Structure 1
């Protein structure tokens, strides 16, 4: 069976309208809310996810409808001063968004466990796993994943099981888009067009969208083309948890 895994990143009260727009759009391609949401507990320290609020109620409703919920960092913002290769990653792969790229083990574990407890309290069930903002992890963060009790984790190149000896469940690049600048939009449009063809034989394809995509018509068109390319051939929209089975 060939699977399609879809996810909406940066889910939280700051981007409620954008998340709703993307959920409606993706559900039309997937035959329902057969996707994952990556939840940020307090985006940039300015948009806390609070139990009992209307957004928390909506998040629980989405989980009840079958959407997988992942913890997606805590702040999403990277405030670490980087050097060497990490500095290159922080500068070129994300704009101060790779929160877990420079964290030591203790801080990473604390943010993971607090995020897990908060989201699970709101949705009333275990989270599916953890995905670091911008898919970037420090060595300490990698170590903390299993200790925090996450069943699944993801970076840009693979999905693995931290609580099962870091067993790799699938490999391959995520198809995603960048809306921040015109140049990044153009490069992501080109990359997605290539990957739509190259990944057709793959057993598992992952596609991720972000709130900023909802404001750029040409990115939305590319997202539609990508989902059509992978669903029209009979590829099955699936859950991340299906990989572990």
Structure 2
């Protein structure tokens, strides 16, 4: 049994990390670095919207090299972060793929199709010698075929909005997360209200995840919320950690191939 944390944790997670979104995050990351040793988990998209391949941007992937060297975690976040499957056929699919999100890349995929998206991302990490432990589906949407594919790969965890899951058996670990929808003023206002209520409810939770997105950084209202929330949680004594480091301290781990 692994040693349990004595201090509650906060996990700072940057979603949709790509050459085209780095400019959104840059100033925020610099400010966080100024607080001291605050490890982060970066959810890297290999070819964001099929227009921002990581390998085509040396300055960007060298920056990720530096983040790994300082103790941050990189996780795989889809392949394109874009739903390019044939149009929805049912009312539920239409809602999930056209109202809830247009970026649920892994929502419809068969096992074979999911593997065809996952393998290039795994190879990207291998080429750059980046440790890879986790996969997070865009919008946290995973088809049964995606779940089957993940069970066959040398990955240690995946997640949804409120849990982390040990792979390959999808053993859940409760890990509540705050996340915003910041595309419009009314969404930002509602997101703040909901997040404040949840943060109050989870004030004694062993871990709280902060799920930031590039669009959050484009609006002072949402950017200030994340900064103030991070500062408050650190002041409350929460230990900043990466997702994989926190998971490794939560109990018995399943065995994985080398």
Deviation at 1:119, TM superposition (A): 2.3
* Match 1:243 to one of 228, 247, 258: 247
Q: Residues of 2 paired with 1:87 and 1:116: CA distance?
A: 30
Q: Residues of 2 paired with 1:28 and 1:160: CA distance?
A: 32
Deviation at 1:51, TM superposition (A): 6.4
* Aligned match of 2:185: 182
1:210-243 CA distance string (max 9 Å, x none): 1111110000121122213322111111121221
Q: Give the alignment's TM-score, normalised by structure 2.
A: 0.87
Q: Residues of 2 paired with 1:244 and 1:170: CA distance?
A: 14
* Aligned match of 2:10: 4
Q: Residues of 1 paired with 2:190 and 2:126: CA distance?
A: 37
* Aligned match of 2:253: none
1:151-203 CA distance string (max 9 Å, x none): 1111112101113x22223343x201222122221221111111221110111
Which secondary structure does the structure 1 equivalent of 2:21 belong to?
Answer: helix
Where in structure 2 are the equivalents of 1:81-230 lying within 5 Å?
Answer: 81-82=87-88, 83-94=90-101, 96-122=102-128, 124-163=129-168, 165-172=169-176, 174-230=177-233
8 Å CA contact 1:196, 1:226 repeated in 2: no
Which secondary structure does the structure 2 equivalent of 1:113 belong to?
Answer: helix
8 Å CA contact 2:77, 2:138 repeated in 1: yes
Deviation larger for 66-75 or 45-54 = 45-54
* Aligned match of 1:71: 76
Q: Give the alignment's TM-score, normalised by structure 1.
A: 0.91
Following TM superposition, where does structure 1 have runs of at least 4 consecutive aligned residues deviating by more than 4 angstroms?
A: none
Deviation at 1:9, TM superposition (A): 0.7
Deviation larger for 218-227 or 199-208 = 218-227
Which secondary structure does the structure 1 equivalent of 2:182 belong to?
Answer: coil
Deviation at 1:13, TM superposition (A): 0.7
Which secondary structure does the structure 2 equivalent of 1:179 belong to?
Answer: coil
Aligned residues, how many? 240
